[in-house]
Each structure stands twice: as structure tokens, then as C-alpha cells.
Structure 1
Amino acid sequence: MDIRKVFVLKRKKPEGASSDSDDSVGDLARPSTSKEPNLVPDSSINDCNENDIGKFIGQASMLSTEMKKELLENTWSPSATYDFAEDAKHLKRKFNYSWLETYSPWLAYSRHQKGAFCKYCTLFPPNPNSFRGVLGSFIIRPFCKFKDIHEHCKKHMETHFRKMALEAAKSFLGSVPVDLQLNKYSRGIIEENRKIITSIISCITFCGSHDLALRGKHYGEGILEDLYKLRIDAGDLVLKKHIEHGKKNASYRSIAIQNEIIAICGDVIKADIVKKVKEAEAYSVLADETADISGTEQLSIGLRYSDEEANEVQEMFVAFVELKGLDAKSIAYCIDEFLTKEDLNPADKCVGFGFDGCSTMSGKDGGVQAILCKKYTKALFFHCSSHKLNLVINDLNILLEIRNTMGTIKDIINFFRESVLRRKLVPNIARLCETRWSEKHKTIRVFKENFPVILEALENLSREGNSATRKNAFQLLAAAFKISFILCITLIAKYSALLEPVVNALQSIALDVVKASQHVKRILQLLKSHRDNPERVTDEIIKDATVVAEKVSLEEDITSMPRIVGKQRHRSNHPAENP
């Protein structure tokens, strides 16, 4: 028997105090190192929240710094609808949720212990060697005498050891170990860098979605740099701080970073399209080859598929593939490699290929379509309908007058567009684009509608301006101010107006085979009726040309016979007795 126990004065236990008054408690804890192991809760209480304060009673010295910080900042707390009556079956009165708000932040409820604790005293208990007294409820065991909770809470708040525990908790939170501080600092840098890169990506995607060039002639110029300034003026303080004070070797504004972001955005968009194509029952491949501004041969690949969600046909561009060769085998290999790489299952789902009509692409024996259709037997080859139509229209250039008229129209448009001052004299007319066929028909229509204004501007410029302007304007005026030119432009505009809706329809993404066939049939019927009634159609063209000639004050008789010779060599006129 320890003789010292004889001299210990036994004191009356306060209400709510634990009968196990000799339970040992830990010291007022300093922050422990992160190398200390975390306490693993007992498996019998796995149904409770891992931050339940009742799981760690009497074990403060075993907790790691991270765990103590987590318990202080994110102690488990029951919801307002928690069933406290279930925990108080053996008690006369249950716990009230409002008490947690009244004695916040130190009071915590434990589902595991089914009682209340002071989380400060639990995590930073006083040292028994420096404190004389009995510790019980709120510290080493739950307080369950809820009838007198307000009285005991107020007494507990006034105790010296509770005040010491509060100061210890504040000191602990203010003296986080270096490794945790570094982790927090690293997370802050990551979050800030994400905000910076988000602003930069936003500017780059804006340029891409609006077909704007990112860079200018010199480094530090261009639309992208101006967008950075615009965001800063709009209040983007993170980007402003980064540009003005950020590290120059990590500015994320270099050409390499821009290209990398563009490539990543392209991969994200392509992945989304490919995912939808995989979900479709079937798809077809569209491909065309052209050289970019740097002279690199690029193969553009598009996919046409049925979107089940939108219930419509979609036609999407998916990739540019650099060509190593321009022969049929090289091009076919690039297309095949792309389909295989994207796991599009071409053997089962690819049902068509659409190319232009050159021999390399459409050759029936050694063309790209022959190579691919031989490998993928379900696929059929289709020559681009718009391309075929354009080839037919271009065949009209075998007529000398038509070819000269188109050349004159192109020269007149270029003459006005190459000068800002001259451009203001006539309405805005687009250039005759050789590849964008719908724009070509629109240009012819606008040119014919504004022909009188164009001639008036040419006449004024032939008398004013510098010598080069006067010379070019006079030559163009002489070529256009003729009855033959007016007849040709009237003829071209008449049939161009018929073909323009068809060209636009054939280039439509959502066009199906039935609608395309209907458009073509209507045009064929109309052209057949014109061939069956040539005199009526010719009279209509002559009348339209006469109206235009009167507007421009051309006195030449449109019905006069041109000079004829025995053998026609320089004109396409067929022998006739009237014009």
C-alpha cells in the first residue's frame, strides 16, 4: 500500500463529475510533429463520424498535428434534425441542439459517447502534476446531466484549466509546423496559377471561336495581348498582378504555351465529337487536301454522323493531318491511321467517303477511295456534289465572251478593293473566290445589281486621280461599257441566281439526300424548260440587258448584227441572220 494515499484529502464530488476521478489526462499539448502516427478509431464505432470528439478521449498526446488541427477546425457536429432522444434512452432528459449554438465554439456533442465535451480541454487537457483537483465531465468523460447543463457550462468556462486549454488551442493554430505551412503555401500557389491560366485560356479560346489571329507582326503585339489588357481594365486583378510582377520565366504567354493550349483545346473538342460519333449507328468521312500559308500540305478530315440527342445529322471538322506524300497510298494511310487511332471502328461503322473529283482521290482503281473502300467494304464513295456542280459551271469558260466577262468582273472588283478611297465609291463587293462557290454567286448578284454605280465610279476615276488610277479606270470602263459585256453579265447573273440556292443547300450541314435530290430535280426541270423555249428565254435576257443599257446610257443598239466574215476564227458567234 502506498502510504501517501493516507494523507490525501477526500473531497466531495461535484455534480456531473466522473466517479473515475483517477483517470490520467495528458499535458497541455504543444503542436506535435507530423511524424507522429494518427490515432486509428476502434472498429466498433466505424458507423460514427471520424471527427467525433468522443473517439479521442484521453489520447491527446497520441494525436498528430494534422489530426488535432482537423478536430479543432472540423469537429463533428450533429444536424438540427438529429435524434438526441435515441441517445438519451437511459437518461431523464435529452440533449438540445440549441446548446451547441449557445456555447459555441467550445462545446461539442459526441455521438459515440452520447454526451457533451469541451473540445479544447479534451485536446489540450491540463497536466495533473501542475493542477490540483478532480477532472471529470467535459474532459475525460461525457457530460450527461443535461438538467443542469447551463450551470455546469458556465462554471467550466470560468475554470483556470479551461482558459489554459483555450490559450493552448489558439497557440497551436498559430504555430502550425513548417511542413503544413509549406503545403498550404503550395496549395495557394496552385490555386493562383489556375486562376491565371484560366484567364489566359479564356482569351485564347475567344480568339479561336471568333477566327481572330492571336499574334501580331512583332512579339508582344496582336489581339491576344490586347485581350489581356482588356481583362485587366475590366478588373482581373490576378492577371494584372501576374503580368506586372510575375516571374518572367513563367509568364505562360510565350508562343509555345499558346500553341500547347490551342492543341489541348483541340484535343478536348475532338474527344467530345469522337465520343458522339462512337455512339452513332454509322458515320461517313469527308476529306480534302490543301496547302496552308506556310506551304505545308494538310489533309482536313471531317465526320458526318447522326446525333441521336439532337435528332439531326451533324457534320463536324475533327482534325488537320500533315501529309508526308501526295500520292493516293499516303493519303489513304493518313485517313486509315486517324480512324484507327481514334478507335472509330471503321470496319463496322464507316459507311461512306466523300472526296473531290481529282484522280488521286476518286480514281476507281488506284485512288484513295478505291484503297479505302476495298478495306472497308461497307463504305461507299461519293464525289462532292458541290464540287461537281462547280466543275460544270467552270466549263462555261470555254466561251470566249463568258471568260472575258468573268475576267473583267474580277479586275473591276480588285481595282476597287485595293484602295480604301476607291472602296468607298461602290458598295462592298466580295472578291470572286475560287473555292467558296456560294460566295462567287453572291458576288455576281451584287455586281449586277450595282453595275450602274460601278460604271459611274469608273468614269469619274478615269478623269481624276493619279495617272495609274486614270489609266486602269479607263481600260476597265472601256471593257465594261459594251453591249456584249452587259449581255454576258445579264446571262451569268440570271443562271447564277438559279444556282445560288442549290449551292447553299448542297453545302448545308443538315441537308439530307431527299432534300438534295428535290433541289437538283427542280433546277433540272427549269433548265430543261429553258432549253425547250430558247427564243422566249433569249428575249427575256435581251429585255433585261436593254434595261441595264438604258440605265447606264449606252446608245449601242442591242439588236444590231455584228460584223460577219466568211470563216469565224476569233468569235464564238454561230452563223445567223439576226443577233
Structure 2
Amino acid sequence: MSKQISLIKYFKKPRIEPETTLDDDDDDSTDKSTDDQQPTTSSLPSTSTSSQLGPVLQKSNSPSDLSTLDEPPAQPDLREFPRTTKHGKSRNFASKWYTKFPFLEYSIKNDAVYCKMCHHFNDTMFEGVFNEGYRDWKHITQACERHQGSKQHLIALEKYNGYRACHKSGRGTVVNQMNHDAMNLSFVQRNREHLKVILDIVLFCAKQDIPLRGHRESDDALNQGNFLQLFKFISKYDPEKKARLEEMPKNGTLMSSDTQNELLEAAASLLLRKIKAELNETPDTYFALIADEYKDESKQELIAVCIRYVHQGMLKERAVGFVATVDMTAAGISKKILEVIEPLQLDPSLCVGFSFDGASVMSGNKGGVHVLLKRTFPHAVYVHCNSHRLNLVLAAASKVSSHVSTFFDTLNSLHTFMTGSIRHARFMEIQNQLHPNRHCLELERSIDTRWSSKSGSVSKVLILFDCILELLDECSGSNHSQTKIEAQGLLQQIQTKRFLFLLVTFGKLFECSDFATKGLQSPTLCVLDCILLVDGLKDAFTVFRDNSQCDFEKVLKLTDELMSKHEIKNLDVTISRQRKLPARLCDSVVVSNISRNYVRNDDDLRRFEILDRQLTELRSRFHDDQYGIVKAAAACQPQSGTFADKGLLESPSQHYGIKIENAELTVFTHQIRRKAEGGQTFQSLMEVIDSCPSDIFPNMNKLLRIIITLPMTSCSAERLFSTTGRIKTSFRSSMATARLKHLAILSHEREITESLDYDEIIAIYNAKPRRLRLVL
């Protein structure tokens, strides 16, 4: 069946010829039985005789005395063939060449020989003398031998043999067979089942972020890639799948990478339709845009966009895609953002805000991306990602002084030292020896752009401090000079009271900041939750600063315990020499200098520049509330002291064009308070919305939905890029952006991907003409 179906592509332009007899090997009854089996549906093409199924290409000047497709080659045996004089010598064709080259047929009209197979099944990419007619009788033997082994002739011969096999099968022409099979429900169903297996494998690999294709996919390859290997694995337990694949045409198995790309595109298209349907499920669904930039493994700049909205009482942040760009100006980025969201056909008046990072190209007040986008979305408010803000606050604290910067540099040096293969193996052995009941841990590298890495770096060194000392002590006596020098230098740095004091201090501070950092990365975070997290962090730092006597003593006590446990005596790194006072300052009294301040006693540790810098940065970066949205959010929370303060609601109401009447606000206030007195708790604004139906309180409901929809972070776009990084690795750096986008969206939005209907995906895939019939 596979060979019969595969021939249909060669029979695009049939030649109508009178009905003729078949070869001696053919059965005359074939045509009659074929006519009886033809479908009667008018939409299907009909063929009255088998000879209607003609070649791909017919020369308009072909002689009429050659054989038709179903006739034996025209090989007339004349008593005397016409003679041709060339270069003074007379030659003619001889019938002996029929025996030696059976594919030849002779045209009496043109006095030339033709190849029967190439005459009927010639490909447009080939041009040859045996298609036009050959008359060089002197070199005919050499020419026929060359032609017989040519690629042109072999392809034509395969097509001709395939045609004869189809014709003799008793099922009629290939077109009739395809039409008959297409009308067979089980045939179509088997095609769909085969495609669903392939779709299952494709989506499985997409959701698991694993590659589909292998480095080599040839039959003799040991590892053909996840897609082909998974299909073999399934076929092992379901032989029918393999049998179905083997009987399909070789160019219609749906196993190619092109089919994978089209299925991924169809699935991603259906996923975006689902998101669009959620946005349009209820009228006036407000939304916000979240965007970020990322450079992938192939150094290509990508602009990703996510959309935030409320659906069925839940906040959703959905990834809608990304696009490659070389124009990283504000105008170029704005254009790409609009290009990504264009398929969703969003109403610009319902956009309430943007969330980007604080880069000048995004946040610039004159020509930034948010300014350009406001021309399309006039009511949108720009929000600098609060997670980025907090990261900038904490990163600034790590550079407040030279000794703090040196502290974090030392942590990174420890991490680098432990990554050596021999040293790392020994590090693991020491952990197993000193802490046999504890899982082995790894040191983390401190990175400025990711504050959680600094927290992890400090906590791991604090936990593994005894193991680190043990390994460094061993390496300091090593015969390898470089290892010995590095180990001794690190020991000198970490065996000091200053280092341990900073280690304990940052460990305490990170306990508070980690909670706020993780909270600010939540996709369900709203304005009020964000403010509460930041205010809580401010209060924690303020208490630590104001209650310095108590907290300082606690930190100092923990530091002394560590020093006693590990027998550390030094307060600071040994002072190599006393710096000379410059001659110009000899007559002056020097109170302090800008050089490093060494620790000589506990009072030298009592400096609060770290806390002071963090508090200053927190107050400066989290103070702006241009549209009064933060105050309005507090005024909508029943536990707030400003609950139902209409003055606080006016600014955002005017900005978004919402008019809240006194009567509506009064009734809403009494209803919420009555429910609160009855024991109902309102932990979030989402619970307040549930008690504020739009048919009763239309304007308050709108304002609450706007406040909740306003994004606080751009972490969802960063999560999409994290998914992209797992997919496009250094081994897959040549992956096209379109394929990468479809894989990343399907993986990132796994909740929707799991609910996709395969029949709908196949309907989208089948919108283009397909080799296999997938629908009746």
C-alpha cells in the first residue's frame, strides 16, 4: 500500500489517450473491475480508463507513433530502416538494439529512438537526448549504456514499475485507490491515530525540555534522538504502530523534522487561542504587559512578553511568546512587543500597566519603551519590577565598603578553589567523614544580578566552615606550589574575626531579605502584598539597627563561639607594615583615613554602614506612588486604617476613567464591614472582589480588578527565559527561533498544554494540504 500511495505525487497531469490493451502479462479484466470500484462521490476525481493516468511531463512535440503508458514499447521491425548520411558515411538504426536495450522504442515518423520510461515519467530537473529523440547511430551503444545507468533513467524506471504494480493489483489506478481509501473511515482513523502518537511524543519532549532530534538519525545510528527512540520504545510494546509506519509511503510517515515543527506550531497556536479565549470569556477583562530582554545561546537578542489578567477569580500570568531582534532601541523593542501580542487582538483601553526592568531604554521618561507604548495603551502605568528593585538595594549593600566587597570576593574564591576535580572529591570525602548523617552540599557562587546566590553562598560557607578549614589545611601542605599558595591565602582570609562576624551578620540579614525576595517573585503578587513585604523588610532592618546593643551582642556571641570551636585567634588579616604618613600631613592631626580599617577590638566591628545603606536604598527605591495606587489598594482592604477613604480612591479612579458615586462606596463599605464583623476574613484583595459583584458595585469592581491586575514584577518573563535556556543549550545552539519559541511556550504554560485537545491540533495542522488524508 505504501508504494502505491507514494506514486500519487508523480501523477499531477494525466494524459488522455484512447483505451488500449495491456501488455501480455496484464489481465484484460482489470479495467472492468476497476470501473466497478470507483466511488460515486462527485467531489472525487474520476478516471474512466487506466490510461488516463499519465506521466508527469509530456513533450508537446512527442511523436504520435510511440506507445502509450499501458502499451508495450513501440519497436517496429522494418525490413530496412531509413539511412542517414553524416560526414560522408551512411548509417541506419537496427532492430538488434531492441534486444540489448529493451527500454528503447523507435519512431518511424521521426526516425529516432526514445526511452519509454523517461518519455512517460521524465522529471523536469532532467533533460536528455532520449527524451527528445536520439539519431546518432554511430554512438548509440555507448549512449544507451550511459543512459541505462543514469539517475534520470533509474528514477523513471522506478516510477514506471510502481505504476504497473498498482495497475495489476486489481484496485484500479492510484487516484482511484487514494479516493477509495479516503472514503474508508478506518483508513482515516488509522492515519489520525498514527499522528496522535507522533503528537504525544512531540509534546512530551516539549514539556520535559528535552531535544527531539539526534545528532545522527540514520538507520545505522546507535542513538537517533529522543523522538525516534521514543517511537521505537512505544512500538516495542505496540507492534501495530511499527507495522502502520512500515506500510505508509516513505514521504508520508510524518516522522520528519518539518512535521515536528508544524505540529509544534499548531499546538502553540492552539495554546494562544486558549489564552485569548480566557481574556474574552468575560467582558472588560483588564490586562497588563510584562516584558524582558534575553540573549540566547546563539547570542541572539530575544524580546519576551507575558500577559497578566484575572480569570475565574485567579490571577494569571501567561507567556505569549518572544521574538528575535537586532534593534535594541526603545522604538525597536516597542515594535517587537506589539508584534508578539498582535495575535491576541487586545483592546488597548483595557491595558492597565507595564512591568519592565529599570534599564534606561525601558524606564526613560522621555523616550523609554513605556512612554512609546503609552501611545497605544493610554491608561497603562509603568512599574519598575520590584524584585529588581530589591536586588539593587541588596547589591548596593554588598559594595558599601572595601572590606564587605573583599568578603564576597573571598566567598567566590572559596567556590573556585573547591571546583578543582581532586580538591572537590576530597571535599566530599571530608563532609562524609565529619557529617556522615548529612547530605553532601556544594558551595554557591555569589552573583550580583541574582541576590539569592549571595544568600546561598553565605549560608553554605557557614554550614560547611569546618569542612572548608579541614581541606584548606591539607592543601596548605601540598607539594603543588600553586595549590599551596592559594590554600594559605584563603586560610589567612577566613581565619579572622572580621570574616566570621560578616558571615554571621549577613546570614542573619539574609533570613529576612530571602523571604521578601521570594515573595516579590510570586506571579500572584499584587500591589498591597508588595508593599507589605517591603515594609516588613524595612521594619526588620530598622529593629536590627535600633536595637543594636542586643542584636550586636547576639551576633558577636555567635562569632566568638565559631572562633572558639575552630581555634581562631586573629581579629583581622595580619598588618604587613605600618603605613607612613605623607610629608604634607606631618604637621596635621590625622583622625581617620580612607585606607582599610583593621579590626583591633570588638568596637571596630560595631559599624552599621551595611544596615544604613540598605535602609537608605529601601527608602529611596520604594517611595514613589505617582498615581496613588498603593494608597488606593490600602483603602480597599478592610483591615487598613484608611479603609473606604474616598479621597485615596480619587487619583487612580480619575486616571482610569472610573467614577465612583458616594452611594456605591457607602453601601460597599457597610457590606464589607458587616461581613468582617460576622467573622469573614479578607486576607487579600481577591477576597474583597468576591464580595463586590460587578452587577451591584460596577465601579468598585472595576477599580479593584485594575489594582489587582497591575503587575509588580517581571519575573514571569524571566522564567520564560529560564525555560528557553534549558531548551537551547550549547549543543542545540543552531535551533531556529520559531521552533524555540513554540517549545518554550508549551513547556512554560504546561497547565494549558496538558489540556490541549489533539483533535483540535490536528484540525489546525490539516489546514494545509497533507499527504495523508486525516479527515473525511
- CA displacement 1:527-576 (0-9 Å, x = unmatched): 11222233333222222222222333322258999998655333156999
Q: What is the SS of the residue equivalent to 1:322? A: strand
What's the counterpart of residue 198 of structure 1?
A: 196
* Equivalence map 1:178-577=2 (5 Å): 182-186=178-182, 190-215=188-213, 220-233=223-236, 235-241=237-243, 249-250=251-252, 252-279=254-281, 281-308=285-312, 311-345=313-347, 347-396=348-397, 397-417=399-419, 419=421, 421=425, 424-425=428-429, 426-463=440-477, 472-557=486-571, 566=590, 567-571=592-596
Whether the 8 Å CA contact 2:320–2:341 is kept in 1: the answer is no
- CA displacement 1:186-225 (0-9 Å, x = unmatched): 5566544433333333223223222334445555554445
Whether the 8 Å CA contact 2:452–2:514 is kept in 1: the answer is yes
Whether the 8 Å CA contact 2:302–2:325 is kept in 1: the answer is yes
Could you tell me how far apart the structure 1 residues matched to 2:249 and 2:189 are? Answer: 16
What's the counterpart of residue 106 of structure 1?
A: none
Q: What is the SS of the residue equivalent to 2:603? A: coil
Could you tell me how far apart the structure 2 residues matched to 1:242 and 1:465 are? Answer: 67
Residue identity opposite 2:234 in structure 1: R
Residue identity opposite 2:299 in structure 1: G
Whether the 8 Å CA contact 2:572–2:599 is kept in 1: the answer is no
Change (3 A) 1:213 1:488: farther
TM-score (normalizing by structure 2): 0.47
**Which consecutive residues of structure 2, in runs of 5 or more, have no partner in the other structure?**
1-32, 42-169, 218-222, 430-439, 580-589, 605-776
Whether the 8 Å CA contact 1:196–1:238 is kept in 2: the answer is no
Give 1:185 shift.
3.6
Q: Which moved more, 1:390-399 or 1:380-389?
A: 390-399
Change (3 A) 1:573 1:423: closer
Whether the 8 Å CA contact 2:309–2:317 is kept in 1: the answer is yes
Could you tell me how far apart the structure 2 residues matched to 1:251 and 1:422 are? Answer: 53
Whether the 8 Å CA contact 2:418–2:427 is kept in 1: the answer is yes
Whether the 8 Å CA contact 1:401–1:488 is kept in 2: the answer is no
* Equivalence map 1:23-42=2 (5 Å): 33=36
Whether the 8 Å CA contact 1:192–1:238 is kept in 2: the answer is no
Whether the 8 Å CA contact 1:195–1:238 is kept in 2: the answer is no
Could you tell me how far apart the structure 1 residues matched to 2:447 and 2:187 are? Answer: 51
Give 1:439 shift.
4.8
What's the counterpart of residue 62 of structure 1?
A: none
What's the counterpart of residue 72 of structure 1?
A: none
Residue identity opposite 2:200 in structure 1: S
Change (3 A) 1:35 1:284: same
Q: Which moved more, 1:456-465 or 1:569-578?
A: 569-578
Change (3 A) 1:37 1:453: closer
Give 1:315 shift.
1.2
Whether the 8 Å CA contact 2:39–2:180 is kept in 1: the answer is no
Could you tell me how far apart the structure 2 residues matched to 1:296 and 1:196 are? Answer: 36
Residue identity opposite 2:269 in structure 1: D
TM-score (normalizing by structure 1): 0.62
- CA displacement 1:312-341 (0-9 Å, x = unmatched): 111122211112300001111112233334
Whether the 8 Å CA contact 2:38–2:176 is kept in 1: the answer is no
Residue identity opposite 1:302 in structure 2: C
Change (3 A) 1:428 1:251: farther
Could you tell me how far apart the structure 2 residues matched to 1:562 and 1:534 are? Answer: 32
Q: Which moved more, 1:282-291 or 1:552-561?
A: 552-561
Could you tell me how far apart the structure 2 residues matched to 1:480 and 1:243 are? Answer: 65
Larger radius of gyration: 1
- CA displacement 1:450-496 (0-9 Å, x = unmatched): 22223323333445696665554444444333332222222222211
Give 1:350 shift.
0.7
Give 1:33 shift.
3.9
**Which consecutive residues of structure 1, in runs of 5 or more, have no partner in the other structure?**
1-29, 39-174
Change (3 A) 1:549 1:209: farther
- CA displacement 1:240-289 (0-9 Å, x = unmatched): 44777876655544444444433333222222123212336201000001
Matched, 1:578 2:580: no
Whether the 8 Å CA contact 2:476–2:488 is kept in 1: the answer is yes
Give 1:180 shift.
6.8
* Equivalence map 1:1-20=2 (5 Å): none
Could you tell me how far apart the structure 2 residues matched to 1:436 and 1:502 are? Answer: 14
Change (3 A) 1:228 1:34: closer
Residue identity opposite 1:195 in structure 2: E
Could you tell me how far apart the structure 2 residues matched to 1:214 and 1:478 are? Answer: 51
Whether the 8 Å CA contact 2:351–2:380 is kept in 1: the answer is yes
Q: Which moved more, 1:367-376 or 1:184-193?
A: 184-193
What's the counterpart of residue 715 of structure 2?
A: none
Could you tell me how far apart the structure 1 residues matched to 2:263 and 2:461 are? Answer: 43
Give 1:398 shift.
3.7
Whether the 8 Å CA contact 2:308–2:315 is kept in 1: the answer is yes
Whether the 8 Å CA contact 1:270–1:319 is kept in 2: the answer is no
Change (3 A) 1:576 1:270: same
Could you tell me how far apart the structure 2 residues matched to 1:482 and 1:249 are? Answer: 72
Could you tell me how far apart the structure 2 residues matched to 1:574 and 1:484 are? Answer: 7
Could you tell me how far apart the structure 2 residues matched to 1:521 and 1:312 are? Answer: 25
Give 1:443 shift.
4.1
Change (3 A) 1:36 1:543: closer
Change (3 A) 1:538 1:295: same
Could you tell me how far apart the structure 1 residues matched to 2:245 and 2:480 are? Answer: 49
Whether the 8 Å CA contact 1:288–1:301 is kept in 2: the answer is yes
What's the counterpart of residue 119 of structure 1?
A: none
Could you tell me how far apart the structure 1 residues matched to 2:356 and 2:405 are? Answer: 28
Could you tell me how far apart the structure 2 residues matched to 1:560 and 1:475 are? Answer: 12
Could you tell me how far apart the structure 1 residues matched to 2:573 and 2:487 are? Answer: 28
Change (3 A) 1:433 1:244: farther
Could you tell me how far apart the structure 2 residues matched to 1:412 and 1:539 are? Answer: 28
Give 1:34 shift.
6.5
Change (3 A) 1:254 1:431: farther
Give the CA RMSD over aligned residues.
3.8
Residue identity opposite 1:355 in structure 2: F
Could you tell me how far apart the structure 2 residues matched to 1:241 and 1:423 are? Answer: 54
Could you tell me how far apart the structure 2 residues matched to 1:35 and 1:232 are? Answer: 35
Residue identity opposite 1:365 in structure 2: K
Give 1:433 shift.
4.9
Change (3 A) 1:373 1:31: closer
Could you tell me how far apart the structure 2 residues matched to 1:323 and 1:183 are? Answer: 47
Whether the 8 Å CA contact 1:362–1:368 is kept in 2: the answer is yes
Could you tell me how far apart the structure 2 residues matched to 1:275 and 1:421 are? Answer: 54
Residue identity opposite 1:205 in structure 2: L
Q: Which moved more, 1:453-462 or 1:489-498?
A: 453-462
